[in-house]
Chains A and B, each alone.
Chain A
Amino acid sequence: MIRFDHVTVTYPDAPTPTLRDVDLTIPAGELCVVIGATGSGKSTLLGAINGLVPHFTGGVVRGRVTVDGRDTRTHPPRELADVVGVVTQDPLAGCVTDTLEEELAYGMEQLAIAPAVMRKRVEETLDLLGLAELRHRPLHHLSAGQLQRVAIGAVLTAHPTVLVLDEPTSALDPTGAEEVLATITRLVHDLGVTVVIAEHRLERVVQYADSILYVPGDGTVEYGQPDQILARAVVAPPIVELGRLAGWTPLPLSVRDARRRAAQLTAELVDVVAPPAVAQPMEQRSAVLRGRGLVVRYGDVAAVRNVDIELASGEVVALMGRNGAGKSSLLWALQGSGVRDGGRVDVGGRDPAGLGPGDARRLVGLVPHTPSDLLYLDTVGDELARADAESTAAQGQSRTALDRLAPGIFDDTHPRDLSEGQRLALVLAVQLAAAPQVVLLDEPTRGLDYRAKHELGFILREIAAAGRAVIVSTHDVEFVAATAHRVVVMAEGEIVADGETATVIISSPAFAPQVAKILAPRPWLTVDQLRVAGVFPHGAPCTTVDATP
């Protein structure tokens, strides 16, 4: 169905090709997952399938990409629209019309499909995706999960034989992501669509994959069976790490398979006390932030309803909840720059909302949802110098912070050329220059690969260990399990759960991390815990229980 014939892609000004001599065939009806670190060339590979590379991105393509017999060299994306459907990371960015129904029909109109057929297909797609009751809604009123389903539906109505999805779930909460992925697998099973999907959070998709395309980042591409590729890929979900550690072959990829393999392991763990997933903060803790009766309203909608929250020094708190639950609003209200209609916040006896922006950020620092909003200068060096000047810190202080967070970023680099993770580190360094007591991060894990997330977790724990308090809002359960001491769950503007990480995330099936699901009812959260506990001293399953924490 999709054929790459010795394809090499080189962007202008790039010293080496992004993809080198890629030669593979993806057969029809397959669900193929593309994995690899950030910036390894995943998006280039996906873009090449429908001709966006090079027709829209520029660059030189050698070799030949054919989809359903059509050569992308002679067919620009619009001529492939009836064969390939493309869904991007940000569904709203690709919406051309105003309402759901028109959006579903747009692609068909361009393909000149007869009006009667269009009416029928729109109705069918509304049912297939469970969107019927939202049909007349303006797109701006839909939630992120609904929008992503609309985006998938909008390309499906044209009945493409190939569906290309570039990180379709990265902005979604766990439940929204489940919905979208369930839709995709249903398409593969019922309609026989060939799906190529790139995803950072492999724990969500890898169990559905028929094959995996691994892009290590050096220009080469490996293509093969999921368990074979994952046995050696650098990026791996927790389930695969557990399988590798336990020496299971073939690697189980779904929680169900892993549970069956883990029956013996679960039995052996009865007497083993799980070490803490995150090193506990120091003994003498004091409250650094106290929020009482916080209220945030937008028009008639209350985004935050009478929330009380308290933070102690040295702790990392994860803020979870579905899209639109009020997490961002709460963070902005705590920082003092955002809307706050009621309640007060006490940081060392002062309320940041009553202070000027310069003083407020010395109490509470916030890294917003789009960190690049804070960057406007041409080089990293200039940004750091400005940060020092803004916070009247000693010269070079933010440079030191950045080097600790993400070493190897040069002064003359343009901030836009940094990777997602590096840009986040730069903004964090800028905010840390003011030495705030409390650091808030709004969904920093979006678009980060496993390594970057691992590093971010390490950084946050270090910041906390220095006696500060950290709140991080995120949808990523695995990240929470490995990073946070405490979890606060919000719904409809209220706090519905607040407690130790293990207690909160194990108690709900939607939120539990993979290791917890596999080893239930034992309270283990991460593979690292098993490693620390020495459950597998030689990298093989143990037969006797002699390990104690």
Chain B
Amino acid sequence: MTSAAARRLPRIVHPVAWWIWAIGLAAAASRTTNPLLLVLVLAVAGVVVAARRTEAPWARAFKVYLLVGLVVIAFRVGFRVVLGGDLGADEHVLFTIPHVPLPGFMAGVQLGGAVSAENVVSASYDGLRLATLLCCIGAANTLANPKRALRVLPAALYELGVTITVAITVAPQLVESVQRVRRARKLRGDTARGRRAVRAIAMPVLHDALDRSFQLAAAMDSRGYGRSGAVPPRVRRLTVALLLAGLVGLCLGGYGLLDASTPWLLGVPTLTAGVALAAAGLILGGRRIRRSRYRPDPWAFPEWCTALCGVAAATAAVVAGARNASALNPSIFPLAWPTLPALPTAAILCALLPAWLTPPPPTAAPSSVRHDHPTRTPERAGAHA
């Protein structure tokens, strides 16, 4: 039995728990266009991220997701303004932009014309919903170390595992390569722009990336990644097929669950089938793959809480939608001020609990033993070329 004090010791929360929590929040957000609820979801995600993110580089990315969210809203509204369409009888015209006549074969598309308040509001609700979904996924990415999450991936998917690891390791290094090569270009006095400059930078960078990917894949292999032992190829192929089918089912089911307009068959049933297939593949694969975990992230009380809070938020949104859809989707025609329905609000606020119920993330080594090497000095940048 772990004492309450032991439970509060800083440690990493299981990445899967954060993903379930984030997908639950996203599922709740996808069921509503109520801006008050959506902003509430954003606020909850923001508070939890601020409270429980680590000091790792990827943990500073939440700001980027928020910015991308703003861009999404702007695009959504911008397009709706330009491609306004016909106005209903009692819509409120905000302003009118010049109407561009289009050739006959593009009938049905209208460019320019009057812009109504209803149109703008509906577009911004849609944009806000998309942005919120994006930020929920961003929150999961910020809270869970992508490489630790990858450890959950079964070793039966050997090639996929290598590919993803190489991609998430080498991609950030590409940025550094580009900086290095661009600086080196100056040494040659080449200030060319356009196509030739792209070639001059891309060629060395891509060569570099290819070399590194190859080296990393070779290193993973030399250290025993994907050891299979004596397994008949038939079993191996069956495992891979089951797992891939399971993953496809999981993706489709998740999509069906998030998008209320898809047939019900694409929702829970597909998700369940996906889970079943993936589980079968894991069991079959697990029989032969022998791997162990060094200091595995435990699945304990905080993980259950986190996952359950996410599931609760999603369930409440679905139930509330079935009982009273108008509260979740405030009226646009006629325009009405949105209200805050009690049940979904409580459920979303419940997703705030992990900010307190989970242990804090571990801090990096005390600064007294740190004799830092700047990661961006030319010497360090070149050291792994």
Contacts and interface: CB of A to CB of B under 8 A. Distances in A.
Interface stretch (B92-100, B199-207, B316-324, B351-359): B199-207
Nearest to B172: A140
Contacts of A137: 364-365
Given A136-B365, A328-B382, A335-B187, A98 B377 contact: no
A108 B380 contact: no
Contacts of B186: 337, 357, 360
Q: Which of B169, B183, B290, B373 has the most CB of A within 10 A?
A: B373
B374 interface: yes
Nearest to B55: A138
Interface string A350-361: 000000111011
A143 B369 CA distance: 14
Given A110-B291, A358-B189, A88 B215 contact: yes
A356 B385 contact: no
Closest 5 CB pairs of A and B: A81-B224, A94-B219, A105-B294, A369-B382, A110-B224
Contacts of B325: none
Could you say which interface size class chain B belongs to? 35 or more
Given A52-B218, A115-B292, A357 B190 contact: yes
A119 B365 CA distance: 19
Interface string B73-97: 0000000000000000000000000
Given A77-B222, A356-B191, 5 more contacts: A136-B362, A136-B364, A301-B372, A335-B187, A374-B185
Contacts of A82: 224
Could you say which interface size class chain A belongs to? 35 or more
Given A97-B147, A115-B294, A372-B207, A90 B379 contact: no
Contact of A141 (B203, B372, B379): B372
Q: Which of B224, B226, B362 has the most CB of A within 10 A?
A: B224
Nearest to B170: A93
B165 interface: yes
A382 to B, nearest CB: 12
Contacts of A416: 207
A515 interface: no
A375 B201 CA distance: 9
Interface string B195-230: 000011101100100001011111111111111000
A374 B180 CA distance: 10
Given A119-B295, A368-B187, A110 B225 contact: yes
Given A366-B187, A370-B382, A298 B374 contact: yes
A36 interface: no
A158 B204 CA distance: 36
Interface string A319-336: 000011011110010010
A184 to B, nearest CB: 18
B188 A78 contact: no
Contacts of B180: 370, 373
A331 to B, nearest CB: 8
Nearest to B384: A92
A93 B383 CA distance: 10
Interface string B102-143: 000000000000000000000000000000000000000000
Contacts of B220: 96
Interface of A: 50, 52, 55-56, 76-82, 84-86, 88, 90, 92-98, 101-102, 105-115, 118-119, 122, 133-134, 136-138, 140-144, 154-155, 158, 171, 298-299, 301, 303, 323-324, 326-329, 332, 335, 337-338, 356-358, 360-361, 365-366, 368-370, 372-376, 387, 390-391, 416, 430-431, 434, 442-443
A299 B212 CA distance: 28
Given A56-B218, A92-B383, A92-B384, A133 B369 contact: yes
Contacts of B188: 357, 361, 374, 387, 390, 430-431
Q: Which of B169, B181, B221, B293 has the most CB of A within 10 A?
A: B221
Contacts of A360: 186, 189
Contact of B378 (A115, A332, A376): A332
Nearest to B199: A376
A93 B218 CA distance: 10
Nearest to A335: B187
A374 B184 contact: yes
A328 B379 contact: yes
Contacts of A158: 223-224
A108 B292 CA distance: 8
B226 A94 contact: no
Given A102-B294, A366-B187, A390-B188, A142 B373 contact: yes
Given A158-B224, A324-B380, A370-B385, A98 B292 contact: no
B377 A303 contact: yes
B193 interface: no
Contact of A119 (B185, B212, B221, B294): B294
A50 B364 CA distance: 36
Nearest to A430: B188
B106 to A, nearest CB: 44
25 contacts: A52-B222, A78-B224, A81-B227, A86-B222, A86-B223, A88-B215, A97-B147, A112-B291, A115-B294, A115-B295, A115-B296, A118-B292, A171-B383, A298-B376, A324-B380, A337-B187, A357-B187, A360-B189, A366-B187, A369-B385, A373-B185, A374-B204, A376-B199, A376-B203, A431-B187
Given A105-B294, A365-B187, A374-B188, A328 B204 contact: no
Contacts of B165: 96
B189 A434 contact: yes
A141 B224 contact: no
Given A94-B215, A369-B382, A143 B373 contact: yes
A56 B294 contact: no
Contacts of A107: 223-224
B252 to A, nearest CB: 31
B189 A391 contact: yes
B216 A94 contact: yes
Nearest to B155: A110
Contact of B221 (A78, A324, A368): A78
Contacts of B215: 88, 90, 93-94
Contacts of A134: 365, 369
Contact of A98 (B147, B185, B204): B147
B373 A76 contact: no
B32 interface: no
Nearest to B191: A357
A466 B128 CA distance: 68
Given A86-B222, A136-B365, A430-B188, A337 B227 contact: no
Contacts of A335: 187
A343 B4 CA distance: 58
Nearest to A86: B222
A303 B383 contact: no
Contacts of B362: 136
A303 B376 CA distance: 10
Contacts of B224: 78, 81-82, 107, 110-111, 158
Contacts of A373: 180-181, 184-185, 204, 385
A79 B290 CA distance: 12
A107 B290 CA distance: 13
A324 B364 CA distance: 22
Contact of B219 (A93, A101, A111): A93
Given A50-B222, A94-B216, A357-B190, A368 B184 contact: yes
B367 to A, nearest CB: 12
Interface in B219-251: 219-227
B294 A81 contact: no
Given A329-B379, A370-B180, A112 B189 contact: no
Q: Which of B204, B227, B380, B383 has the most CB of A within 10 A?
A: B383
B365 to A, nearest CB: 5
A369 B379 contact: yes
Interface in B286-329: 290-296
Contacts of A171: 383
Contacts of A81: 222-224, 227
